[in-house]
Structure 1
């Protein structure tokens, strides 16, 4: 299955279709990030059960504190 993450194409195995698996595969520190799929923000509490579909556009944002 093919998804796009921050404008880069990634190929996922059929059994690796959960959002949390993708984030782990990308070795992302899951603290301090926000994730949107097809421009819909996914709450962190739903990452483990959120299933990705062919062609999904995933955006990962790093939170920055400042004033």
Structure 2
């Protein structure tokens, strides 16, 4: 299965990946980030149950505080 994460193509060896598994595979910290799949923001409470599909475009955003 192929997904794009922040404009980089990644090949996943199995077809049942949820967002938590993807973050773990890519060594990304779950704190202070937001995720969108195909431009739809996924609430953090749904990351475990959200299964990726072949060809998905995943965007991972780091939250920045400022003023």
Q: Cα RMSD (Å) of the superposition?
A: 1.0
Q: Which residue pairs with 1:38 in the alignment?
A: 38
SS across alignment from 2:22: helix
**Runs of 4+ more than 6 Å apart:** none
Q: Where does the alignment leave 5 or more consecutive residues of structure 1 unmatched?
A: none
TM-score (norm 2): 0.95
Partner of 1:60: 60
Task: Give structure 2 stretches of 5+ with no counterpart.
Answer: none
Counterpart contact for 2:15–2:53, Cα < 8 Å: no
Query: Distance between the aligned counterparts of 2:11 and 2:23, measured in 1?
Result: 13
- In structure 1, distance between residues paired with 2:63 and 2:16: 26
Alignment coverage as a number of residue pairs: 67
Q: Structure 1 length as normaliser, TM-score?
A: 0.95
